[in-house]
Amino acid sequence: MGFEGSLASYSLVQVFRFLHQHRQSGLLMISLDDSDSNHNSHNLGMNTTDHSCCIWLSYGRIVAVSDDQEIGCLLGMLSQRRWLSPATIARLQQFSKLDRPLGLFLKTKGILQAEQIKLLFHAQVLQRIGTLFKYQLGSFNFLEGVEAPVMEMTGLSISLAEALLLGLRVLRDRDWATFEDKLPRSTSALARCETQTHPFVLDSLERKVWDTASGSLSIVEQAKLLNKPVGCIQQIAYRLIIIEILKEITAEERLAIAPSPQFQPTPPQPFQMMIA
Protein backbone atom coordinates (compact mmCIF):
# COMPACT_ATOMS: atom_id res chain seq x y z
CA MET A 1 0.00 0.00 0.00
CA GLY A 2 1.50 3.30 -1.12
CA PHE A 3 0.17 6.78 -0.57
CA GLU A 4 1.15 10.39 -1.09
CA GLY A 5 -0.06 13.81 -0.04
CA SER A 6 0.68 17.34 1.05
CA LEU A 7 2.17 18.26 4.41
CA ALA A 8 -0.41 21.04 4.54
CA SER A 9 -3.17 18.41 4.57
CA TYR A 10 -1.43 15.69 6.57
CA SER A 11 1.31 16.70 8.97
CA LEU A 12 4.48 14.70 9.25
CA VAL A 13 3.38 13.77 12.77
CA GLN A 14 0.27 12.14 11.32
CA VAL A 15 2.27 10.35 8.62
CA PHE A 16 4.83 8.99 11.11
CA ARG A 17 2.10 7.91 13.51
CA PHE A 18 0.20 6.04 10.78
CA LEU A 19 3.32 4.24 9.56
CA HIS A 20 4.26 3.34 13.14
CA GLN A 21 0.81 1.99 14.03
CA HIS A 22 0.75 -0.18 10.90
CA ARG A 23 4.43 -1.23 11.22
CA GLN A 24 5.07 -0.32 7.60
CA SER A 25 8.17 -1.17 5.58
CA GLY A 26 9.24 0.86 2.58
CA LEU A 27 10.52 4.25 1.48
CA LEU A 28 9.11 7.57 2.69
CA MET A 29 10.18 10.46 0.44
CA ILE A 30 9.71 13.99 1.74
CA SER A 31 10.08 17.08 -0.45
CA LEU A 32 10.24 20.47 1.25
CA ASP A 33 8.76 23.60 -0.26
CA ASP A 34 11.16 26.52 -0.84
CA SER A 35 8.42 28.95 0.16
CA ASP A 36 8.63 27.75 3.77
CA SER A 37 10.55 30.87 4.72
CA ASN A 38 10.84 30.01 8.42
CA HIS A 39 13.34 27.27 7.71
CA ASN A 40 15.75 26.06 5.07
CA SER A 41 17.19 22.73 4.11
CA HIS A 42 20.63 23.66 5.47
CA ASN A 43 19.16 23.03 8.92
CA LEU A 44 18.49 19.44 7.91
CA GLY A 45 21.98 18.83 6.61
CA MET A 46 20.30 18.03 3.32
CA ASN A 47 21.26 18.57 -0.26
CA THR A 48 19.98 22.06 -1.08
CA THR A 49 19.56 21.23 -4.77
CA ASP A 50 16.49 19.04 -4.43
CA HIS A 51 15.38 19.74 -0.84
CA SER A 52 14.40 16.13 -0.40
CA CYS A 53 14.80 13.52 2.28
CA CYS A 54 14.47 9.76 1.94
CA ILE A 55 13.60 7.66 4.98
CA TRP A 56 13.75 3.87 4.76
CA LEU A 57 11.55 1.89 7.13
CA SER A 58 11.49 -1.71 8.28
CA TYR A 59 8.41 -2.76 10.25
CA GLY A 60 7.83 0.71 11.65
CA ARG A 61 11.50 1.42 12.39
CA ILE A 62 13.79 3.89 10.64
CA VAL A 63 16.88 2.10 9.35
CA ALA A 64 18.41 4.77 7.09
CA VAL A 65 18.03 8.39 5.97
CA SER A 66 19.63 10.06 2.96
CA ASP A 67 19.32 13.13 0.74
CA ASP A 68 17.93 11.14 -2.16
CA GLN A 69 17.72 7.62 -3.56
CA GLU A 70 21.26 7.73 -4.93
CA ILE A 71 23.66 5.44 -3.10
CA GLY A 72 26.69 7.01 -1.43
CA CYS A 73 25.44 9.37 1.28
CA LEU A 74 26.76 7.20 4.12
CA LEU A 75 30.12 6.77 2.41
CA GLY A 76 30.23 10.53 1.98
CA MET A 77 29.76 11.01 5.72
CA LEU A 78 32.54 8.52 6.43
CA SER A 79 34.79 10.37 4.00
CA GLN A 80 34.08 13.75 5.62
CA ARG A 81 35.01 12.36 9.02
CA ARG A 82 38.13 10.74 7.53
CA TRP A 83 37.20 7.45 9.13
CA LEU A 84 37.96 5.64 5.89
CA SER A 85 40.87 6.11 3.53
CA PRO A 86 40.17 7.16 -0.07
CA ALA A 87 41.38 3.74 -1.20
CA THR A 88 38.92 1.94 1.10
CA ILE A 89 36.05 4.14 -0.07
CA ALA A 90 36.97 3.48 -3.69
CA ARG A 91 36.91 -0.28 -3.07
CA LEU A 92 33.55 -0.09 -1.29
CA GLN A 93 32.08 1.89 -4.18
CA GLN A 94 32.91 -1.02 -6.46
CA PHE A 95 30.97 -3.51 -4.33
CA SER A 96 27.82 -4.53 -6.18
CA LYS A 97 26.14 -5.86 -3.06
CA LEU A 98 26.92 -6.44 0.59
CA ASP A 99 25.24 -9.16 2.63
CA ARG A 100 24.79 -6.87 5.63
CA PRO A 101 24.48 -3.15 6.47
CA LEU A 102 27.61 -1.15 5.67
CA GLY A 103 28.10 -0.14 9.30
CA LEU A 104 28.03 -3.73 10.51
CA PHE A 105 30.32 -4.80 7.67
CA LEU A 106 32.93 -2.20 8.64
CA LYS A 107 32.59 -3.12 12.32
CA THR A 108 33.07 -6.82 11.54
CA LYS A 109 36.23 -5.98 9.58
CA GLY A 110 37.54 -3.98 12.54
CA ILE A 111 37.52 -0.74 10.55
CA LEU A 112 34.92 1.03 12.72
CA GLN A 113 34.16 0.74 16.43
CA ALA A 114 30.69 0.45 17.97
CA GLU A 115 30.85 4.03 19.27
CA GLN A 116 31.64 5.32 15.78
CA ILE A 117 28.60 3.48 14.43
CA LYS A 118 26.42 5.20 17.05
CA LEU A 119 27.83 8.62 16.17
CA LEU A 120 27.27 7.93 12.49
CA PHE A 121 23.66 6.89 13.10
CA HIS A 122 23.07 10.00 15.21
CA ALA A 123 24.29 12.26 12.40
CA GLN A 124 22.62 10.32 9.59
CA VAL A 125 19.22 9.75 11.21
CA LEU A 126 18.58 11.46 14.54
CA GLN A 127 19.83 14.94 13.64
CA ARG A 128 17.86 15.00 10.39
CA ILE A 129 14.66 13.59 11.84
CA GLY A 130 14.94 16.02 14.75
CA THR A 131 14.46 19.01 12.45
CA LEU A 132 11.90 17.68 9.96
CA PHE A 133 8.91 18.52 12.16
CA LYS A 134 9.66 22.23 11.89
CA TYR A 135 8.45 22.20 8.29
CA GLN A 136 4.79 22.51 7.35
CA LEU A 137 5.07 23.03 3.58
CA GLY A 138 5.95 20.27 1.18
CA SER A 139 4.82 16.82 0.11
CA PHE A 140 5.38 13.17 0.94
CA ASN A 141 5.23 9.90 -0.94
CA PHE A 142 5.38 6.46 0.66
CA LEU A 143 6.32 3.42 -1.43
CA GLU A 144 5.59 0.18 0.36
CA GLY A 145 8.02 -2.70 0.19
CA VAL A 146 11.06 -0.76 -1.05
CA GLU A 147 14.06 -2.27 0.71
CA ALA A 148 16.70 -0.05 2.24
CA PRO A 149 20.07 -0.20 0.44
CA VAL A 150 22.62 -1.83 2.73
CA MET A 151 25.20 0.77 1.64
CA GLU A 152 23.10 3.42 3.44
CA MET A 153 22.54 1.41 6.62
CA THR A 154 24.57 1.52 9.81
CA GLY A 155 22.86 -1.53 11.28
CA LEU A 156 21.10 0.55 13.93
CA SER A 157 17.45 1.60 13.90
CA ILE A 158 14.90 3.65 15.82
CA SER A 159 11.13 3.25 16.02
CA LEU A 160 8.96 5.90 14.41
CA ALA A 161 7.40 6.56 17.83
CA GLU A 162 10.84 7.33 19.29
CA ALA A 163 11.57 9.54 16.29
CA LEU A 164 8.30 11.40 16.92
CA LEU A 165 9.27 12.01 20.54
CA LEU A 166 12.73 13.28 19.58
CA GLY A 167 11.44 15.43 16.74
CA LEU A 168 8.76 17.13 18.82
CA ARG A 169 11.14 17.56 21.75
CA VAL A 170 13.52 19.84 19.83
CA LEU A 171 10.83 22.18 18.48
CA ARG A 172 11.21 25.80 19.50
CA ASP A 173 8.32 27.92 20.77
CA ARG A 174 7.68 29.49 17.35
CA ASP A 175 7.45 26.04 15.78
CA TRP A 176 4.72 25.02 18.21
CA ALA A 177 2.35 27.61 16.73
CA THR A 178 1.41 25.05 14.07
CA PHE A 179 0.34 22.57 16.76
CA GLU A 180 -1.57 25.07 18.90
CA ASP A 181 -5.02 23.72 18.02
CA LYS A 182 -3.86 20.15 18.66
CA LEU A 183 -2.58 20.67 22.20
CA PRO A 184 -4.65 19.25 25.06
CA ARG A 185 -6.83 21.79 26.86
CA SER A 186 -5.43 23.36 29.99
CA THR A 187 -8.56 22.28 31.88
CA SER A 188 -8.09 18.64 30.85
CA ALA A 189 -6.42 16.03 32.99
CA LEU A 190 -3.78 13.54 31.89
CA ALA A 191 -3.89 9.82 32.57
CA ARG A 192 -1.50 7.03 31.72
CA CYS A 193 -2.47 4.67 28.94
CA GLU A 194 -0.67 1.89 30.79
CA THR A 195 -0.04 1.60 34.49
CA GLN A 196 3.19 -0.29 33.88
CA THR A 197 6.44 0.96 32.37
CA HIS A 198 6.95 2.00 28.74
CA PRO A 199 9.87 1.60 26.29
CA PHE A 200 10.69 5.31 25.90
CA VAL A 201 13.57 7.24 27.42
CA LEU A 202 11.98 10.42 28.78
CA ASP A 203 13.81 13.57 29.79
CA SER A 204 13.49 14.77 33.39
CA LEU A 205 10.46 17.04 32.84
CA GLU A 206 8.67 14.50 30.66
CA ARG A 207 9.19 11.99 33.45
CA LYS A 208 7.67 14.37 36.02
CA VAL A 209 4.62 14.94 33.82
CA TRP A 210 4.29 11.17 33.40
CA ASP A 211 4.64 10.58 37.15
CA THR A 212 1.99 13.18 38.05
CA ALA A 213 -0.52 12.11 35.37
CA SER A 214 -3.09 10.68 37.75
CA GLY A 215 -6.22 11.57 35.80
CA SER A 216 -7.43 13.82 38.61
CA LEU A 217 -5.20 16.88 38.22
CA SER A 218 -5.87 19.37 35.43
CA ILE A 219 -2.94 20.52 33.32
CA VAL A 220 -3.16 23.89 35.06
CA GLU A 221 -2.80 22.13 38.41
CA GLN A 222 0.08 20.01 37.11
CA ALA A 223 1.84 23.16 35.91
CA LYS A 224 1.51 24.71 39.37
CA LEU A 225 2.74 21.52 41.00
CA LEU A 226 5.79 21.34 38.73
CA ASN A 227 6.33 25.13 38.76
CA LYS A 228 6.28 25.32 34.96
CA PRO A 229 4.25 27.38 32.44
CA VAL A 230 0.96 25.81 31.38
CA GLY A 231 2.02 25.95 27.72
CA CYS A 232 5.16 23.95 28.49
CA ILE A 233 3.13 21.18 30.15
CA GLN A 234 0.68 21.18 27.23
CA GLN A 235 3.55 20.66 24.76
CA ILE A 236 4.99 17.81 26.80
CA ALA A 237 1.53 16.28 27.18
CA TYR A 238 1.00 16.45 23.41
CA ARG A 239 4.13 14.50 22.57
CA LEU A 240 3.43 11.88 25.25
CA ILE A 241 -0.12 11.55 23.92
CA ILE A 242 1.20 11.18 20.36
CA ILE A 243 3.41 8.25 21.38
CA GLU A 244 0.42 6.79 23.22
CA ILE A 245 1.67 6.63 26.79
CA LEU A 246 -0.68 9.37 28.04
CA LYS A 247 -4.28 10.21 27.20
CA GLU A 248 -6.29 13.38 27.64
CA ILE A 249 -9.38 13.43 29.83
CA THR A 250 -11.39 16.57 29.18
CA ALA A 251 -13.19 18.44 31.95
CA GLU A 252 -16.51 17.22 30.54
CA GLU A 253 -15.32 13.60 30.58
CA ARG A 254 -14.07 13.96 34.13
CA LEU A 255 -17.45 15.31 35.19
CA ALA A 256 -19.29 12.50 33.42
CA ILE A 257 -17.29 9.74 35.12
CA ALA A 258 -17.22 11.38 38.55
CA PRO A 259 -19.29 9.42 41.08
CA SER A 260 -22.59 11.14 41.76
CA PRO A 261 -23.40 11.91 45.40
CA GLN A 262 -25.64 9.25 46.89
CA PHE A 263 -28.88 10.16 48.70
CA GLN A 264 -28.36 9.73 52.40
CA PRO A 265 -31.66 9.54 54.34
CA THR A 266 -31.75 11.21 57.73
CA PRO A 267 -31.27 8.54 60.38
CA PRO A 268 -34.35 8.02 62.57
CA GLN A 269 -34.29 9.78 65.92
CA PRO A 270 -34.84 7.72 69.07
CA PHE A 271 -38.47 7.81 70.30
CA GLN A 272 -38.98 9.92 73.37
CA MET A 273 -42.28 10.04 75.29
CA MET A 274 -43.32 13.44 76.51
CA ILE A 275 -45.22 13.50 79.84
CA ALA A 276 -47.43 16.52 80.47
User: Angle CA(48)–CA(53)–CA(54) in degrees, nearest 5?
Assistant: 145
Smallest CA-to-CA distance from 155 within 118, 199, 123, 111 is with 118
Q: For 180-224, how does the pLDDT look when each residue is reduced to its tens digit (9 = 90+)?
A: 999 999 999 999 997 668 899 999 999 999 999 999 999 999 999
The DSSP letter of residue 37 is T
Residue type, 115: E
How many residues does the structure list for the chain?
276
Question: Beta strands 246-249 and 3-6: pairing type?
Answer: unpaired
Q: What is the pLDDT of residue 33?
A: 80
Report d(CA 211, CA 214) in Å as an integer: 8
Please check the confidence at residue 60 and state whether its pLDDT lies above 90. Answer: yes
Residues facing 143 on adjacent strands: 27
Q: Produce one character per residue of 56-86: b if its CB has 16 or more CB atoms within 10 Å, e if not.
A: bbbebbbbbbbbeeeebbbbebbeeeebbee
14-50 residue pLDDT tens: 999 999 999 999 999 999 886 654 555 445 554 443 4
Q: Domains of the chain: which residue ranges?
A: 3-171, 183-257
Please state which of the four CATH numbers 1.20.1530, 3.30.70, 2.60.120, 1.10.10 is assigned to the domain occupying 183-257.
Answer: 1.10.10
- The model carries a pTM of 0.86
At position 182, the amino acid (one-letter code) is: K
Mean pLDDT value of segment 57-72: 89
